[in-house]
Structure 1
Amino acid sequence: MALRLDRRRLVMGGGLGLAALALPGGAALAKTLLSASGFTHGVASGEPGPDSLLLWSRYVPAGEADETRLDAEIALDPDFRQVAARGVVRTGAYRDWTVKITLDGLEPGQTYWYRFIGPDGSRSQTGRARTLPVGRAERFRIGLFSCSNLPMGWFNAYAHAAARDDVDLWLHVGDYVYEYGIGSYAADDRIAERVVLPAHDHEMVALADYRLRFACYRADPDLQALHAAAPMVCVWDDHESTNDSWEGGAQNHQPATEGDWSTRRAAAVQAYLEWMPISEEPWKSYPIGDLATLYRTESRLIGRTRQADIGAAYREGTEAALTAFRDGVWQDASATMLGSTQEAWLARELRANARTTAWQVVGMGTIMGRTVMPGDALDLLRPDLSEGAVRSFANAARAGRIGLPMWMDRWDGYPAARSRFLKAAQAADADLVMLSGDSHNAWAFSLSEDGRPAGVEFAGQAVTSNGMEKQLGVAPSVAARSFVAANPEMAWAQPSGRGYMMIDITPERVGGEWIFMETVKARTSAVAGAHRMTVEKGRRRFTA
């Protein structure tokens, strides 16, 4: 039984309405969801190489079997008359019946179709994927996504992107799922039909919770269509585990009620590796001919140190306290986003690959561009904003006046590590392009280090998660001008609108297009507008 949320019935297979997840029968629905059989969640591909692709699906056998075997095949045509490679893979309840297999011996720069065949002869949905090019490459296009909060809206960005025929791969830079229970959402933030399990106030904590949440998200037909249309390179951020996570804990983890952090972290990682088309390598590079090298990074659960805590300085409320924090804790050279092993790996890769590929494209969960709160922030806010929200903006504006960033959870909360990263790119003479998400809004940064250009950053808006506009009492364009004026690295901003980005890479330039959907509160692929920025080869700053 294939589980999908279709337009006509809002159904998760077998006539099971998602709205029922909010009703007392949700437990019975969960049992039905988890006991569905056959190919339940479509197909996906990832880890593209010049001669290989990783293929993913989920197949649950009927009956009481502990394991099953599936055949996988990949072909040059959608009718599978020209099969290029075959393989056999085993799965079981021990990995939530998900399957992953890498098929190699493929041709570079070639479009393939793939599918799985069950032991009963049933066939999965057919997916399409393209291997990476070798040698001279004139163009490569990447679709960029982040922050896909299912209860907050329809995945219209996925639907629009999946209908394209000009994409080589997708890059999802995190918050693919969210850990929160439905009860934590304000009524006007979510859509009644978009309810996920575990139900009500229950967060993802145990392995079963994370698996069930992925099962709900992956039942969405627009997400299934996206995965079937092109390979995805995946980067997790915090909400795949819980908010503001780091190696030893998280803001949204309470040991007294939610148990040991290492247990929760292990459960989150296991479910992610089961349900996503990704290898178990924690970070990886992908050569795109002589055009670019794409890097998949890990900046949350392996090497990241605890975020600097500015709270005490805010509570003291003096400039002296903020200055002491700025010149002390904030500057700590031992603070790291990537950990020393990954930092060294990435520096070596940049040195080696900048000699052979034109662009160094780094996928990252959080933004690198320096961002301080504008001094006039309080003038930008809605008059009815809560006292706590106003206080948060006021604190950040005071901190911004002495150069402290808005968020300690991003790269500019780790200034020594940020400096090391950008100096490594400069030492490699790399044309660096950062692709990031996390903030829910759209930004462009011309990055600098030691007063010299270090690269650019395309920071994409959320697929569905709320952005800053909900707190603004002025037009978003007014707020954008204020942010750009307060931040020398910021080349452009749009603090409203949901959607995704398209990154177009050629030997001479990299262009980015922010595509804004008309709405996420109704299911439609209508586009409200777009914005484009470009970096020319060798400039390492935005030119338009």
Structure 2
Amino acid sequence: MKHLKPDNPPMRLSHLILVFMACFFTTNAQLVVGNEVLPFDPALKPFYHGVASGDPLADRVIIWTRVTTAEDTNVNVKWKIATDLQFKNIVKTGTVITNSDKDYTVKVDVTGLNPKTTYYYYFSALDKNSIIGRTRTSPASKANYLRFGVVAAANYQSGYFNAYSQLAKRKDLDAVIHLGDYINEYGAGKESEGYSKERVDRINIPNTELLDIADYRTRYSLYRLDPDLQAVHQQHPFIAIWDDHESAYQAYKDGATNHNKGEGSWETRKAVSKKVFFEWMPIRDTKKYQIYRTLNYGNLADIILLDTRLEGRQQQIFDVNSKKLASADRTILGTDQKAWLKNELQSSTAKWKIVGSQVLFSKFNIGWAANQLNTNADALESAFLDHWDGYPAERNELIDFLADNNINNTVLLSGDMHASLGLEVKHEAQQKNIGVEFAVPSISSANFNELEGNATANYLDANLASNNENPELKFSDVQQHGYMILNVKSNSVQADWLYTDITEKPDYRKKNITETHGESWYTSFNDNTLKKAASASNTKPNQPALAPSKSPAFERNKQFYKNLSEVMSVHQNNINGDSKLVVQHVAYQSQQLIFDIYDQNGKSAMDSIQKEIASGVQLTEITLPKLKKGSYFIRVSTDDAQHIQKVQID
């Protein structure tokens, strides 16, 4: 990743140097020394978590970063945005303040931009500059061709984010649409989801389930240290919504299957998870952390994003025989969001209405496979009622609305299934299709084969799209991980499913990740049916250059880095009357972590506490001694780094 000298405008760098860097620098933010991978790149300091952008409109876009600082104080952060990599044409600059209230994240809504334009940006703070990010605004009126990456469901422990790496290499994407499960809230260890002794470098921190603000912030920090996730954020704007794992498994408005007795207030946990999502994601801020919204892409497409999780969803009923299941007043959207959605669909003047939903909208009948899964049909069908199948009356209401108002060319995108699916959405009474749906595979979260075994997954792949229980299902693959490319033109929308191996450990010198093409299906304008394409869609020609990345790993000196460490964050938690410090730190090799506490006069308030820390990304928790009420300063230090933070003891 390309670095700029502090306060030295990048316009002074020659075009030749930038071309050289673009050709020879790796496309990730992780440092390789010898054959070893460091858990962080010291050269990125203080912008260890990279840069990101999102929610592009015709005249504005969000840009994002995070500053790691040694002191708990306000930090001034400058930013610049230009139309060229050399920053000769700087169009906007500014300064913002970040602090611990925002977890030192920075988010700027840059306005006054031109439509359908690629921009480059970077941040400056603490006498350092960030890497350069690349983003793109949406078209204001006429558009002929759009391409989106579409992703969902990333579990850090389950494997490597190779799909993100592949998306980062593409030059021709207008944006990446993320349909949720950006993180996973589960703990770590042998009994936790995705754990493998073959991937000791992919262990969740904290190692317990996420419950409080320190937990959620630490997990996002872990994910954003991943080089492949950093790379895709660096190169493309994100259009993101949450699903359940950003808060808790099978969440709904008033609770979650994975929120249990003894885990505190659900309302508090939900509020914390929303706040941290808005801190760490390049999403436009709203007063109530509302994520349902529409992004317009000229006359070609409206991207309509839903919240089928936390906004209005009623509790799931996991019983297909329950009479309450078909109740007319059951809702997955809530009254306000449903009215908003109908208005967005009816008032849209775009050729295509692309609706992003966390969960599968179409019917998914699977009871016929009960014998293969050693269960009964009702129990198997009941297990899938977290989707729109669990809210059939409201789904039928929307299908009626689309049919009665002659709204065609609706393309639904869904995540959560961890499967590639292509479906037609039919109005059964009128015997006509009203749209199509494409479901995306998971980035790395467990698929059917990893949950139920290869034999079951092979059986489903052989029969799902061919049996008469799912006549609207045209394509399925329940075993592959990867992503989808959505190719939007005036006369068609095509989905290309592309797959990567999550067990293939990235080689950060060569980046030779294996990628395979599954299938491609398309729908034609005003047709509302799916047809299989002969090949994947063509890339856009003559696209702007990717943002440059850092120098090759083999140019680094291993001896120089071996003692380096960094304190990423310090959070204070007050639990059951005890005050605890939660410290996230990264180190190349094991070191000592030293804790000191001083009062406001600089006098030591306790003896130093020393903890041995292992290499990698780690979390340490310290219970503070009983202290008099008042303000204190905590110093957390290693051989190479320190963090000073003010805490209040009540």
Measured against the shorter chain, the TM-score band is: 0.7 to 0.9
- Cα distance in 2 for partners of 1:14, 1:539 equals 51
The answer to whether the aligner puts 1:431 opposite 2:431 as a matched pair is no
- Cα distance in 2 for partners of 1:340, 1:217 equals 34
Residue deviations 1:256-314 (CA, integer Å, cap 9, x gap): 3211101111111111110000023422111111101001221111211101132xxxx
Which one of the candidate residues 463, 471, 476 is aligned to 1:482? Answer: 463
Q: Is the 8 A contact 1:371 1:405 kept in 2?
A: no
Residue deviations 1:71-112 (CA, integer Å, cap 9, x gap): 111100011110111222111001100010111111110111
The answer to whether the aligner puts 1:97 opposite 2:104 as a matched pair is yes
- Cα distance in 2 for partners of 1:291, 1:14 equals 41
Q: Which residue of 1 aligns with 2:391?
A: 414
Deviation for aligned residue 1:129: 0.7
The answer to whether the aligner puts 1:543 opposite 2:545 as a matched pair is no
Which one of the candidate residues 363, 370, 383 is aligned to 2:363? Answer: 370
1:131-530 matches, within 5 Å, as 131-183=137-189, 184-185=192-193, 187-188=195-196, 191-199=199-207, 202-254=208-260, 256-281=261-286, 282=290, 283-310=292-319, 323=321, 325=322, 328-353=323-348, 356-379=349-372, 381=373, 390=374, 394-395=375-376, 397-398=377-378, 406-426=383-403, 427=405, 429-449=407-427, 450=429, 451-470=431-450, 471-474=452-455, 476=457, 478-484=459-465, 485=467, 486-523=469-506, 525-530=513-518
More deviation, 236-245/296-305 = 296-305
Q: Is the 8 A contact 1:110 1:130 kept in 2?
A: yes
SS at match of 1:417: helix
Give the partner amino acid of 1:123. N
Q: Which residue of 2 aligns with 1:314?
A: none
- Cα distance in 1 for partners of 2:109, 2:153 equals 28
Residue deviations 1:30-53 (CA, integer Å, cap 9, x gap): xxxxxx962121100011000101
RMSD over aligned Cα atoms: 2.2
- Cα distance in 2 for partners of 1:167, 1:520 equals 26
- Cα distance in 1 for partners of 2:157, 2:198 equals 5
Task: Assess, with a 3 A threshold, how the Cα gap between structure 1 residues 428 and 55 changes in structure 2: closer, same or farther.
Answer: farther
- Cα distance in 1 for partners of 2:31, 2:414 equals 30
Q: Which residue of 2 aligns with 1:32?
A: none
- Cα distance in 2 for partners of 1:520, 1:463 equals 12
Deviation for aligned residue 1:6: 4.0
Task: Assess, with a 3 A threshold, how the Cα gap between structure 1 residues 267 and 187 changes in structure 2: closer, same or farther.
Answer: closer
Task: Assess, with a 3 A threshold, how the Cα gap between structure 1 residues 260 and 47 changes in structure 2: closer, same or farther.
Answer: same
Deviation for aligned residue 1:4: 5.1
- Cα distance in 2 for partners of 1:428, 1:248 equals 35
User: In percent, how many aligned pairs have the same letter?
Assistant: 31
- When normalised by structure 2's length, the TM-score is 0.72
1:79-90 matches, within 5 Å, as 79-90=86-97
SS at match of 1:257: coil
Task: Assess, with a 3 A threshold, how the Cα gap between structure 1 residues 149 and 137 changes in structure 2: closer, same or farther.
Answer: same
Task: Assess, with a 3 A threshold, how the Cα gap between structure 1 residues 40 and 357 changes in structure 2: closer, same or farther.
Answer: same
More deviation, 188-197/337-346 = 188-197
SS at match of 2:47: strand
More deviation, 444-453/236-245 = 444-453
- Cα distance in 1 for partners of 2:197, 2:155 equals 10
Unaligned runs of 5+ in 2: 4-27, 507-511, 533-650
- When normalised by structure 1's length, the TM-score is 0.85
Q: Which has the higher strand share?
A: 2
Residue deviations 1:216-235 (CA, integer Å, cap 9, x gap): 00000100000011100001
Which one of the candidate residues 20, 29, 39 is aligned to 1:12? Answer: 39
Count of residue pairs the alignment pairs up? 487
- Cα distance in 2 for partners of 1:82, 1:467 equals 47
Q: Which has the higher helix share?
A: 1
SS at match of 2:67: strand
Q: Is the 8 A contact 2:157 2:196 kept in 1?
A: no
Residue deviations 1:338-396 (CA, integer Å, cap 9, x gap): 1111111111011111xx210000111111111111424423x5xxxxxxxx3xxx23x
- Cα distance in 1 for partners of 2:226, 2:420 equals 25
- Cα distance in 2 for partners of 1:195, 1:4 equals 19
Q: Which residue of 1 aligns with 2:521?
A: 533
Greater Cα radius of gyration, structure 1 or 2:
2
Which one of the candidate residues 55, 66, 70 is aligned to 1:58? Answer: 66
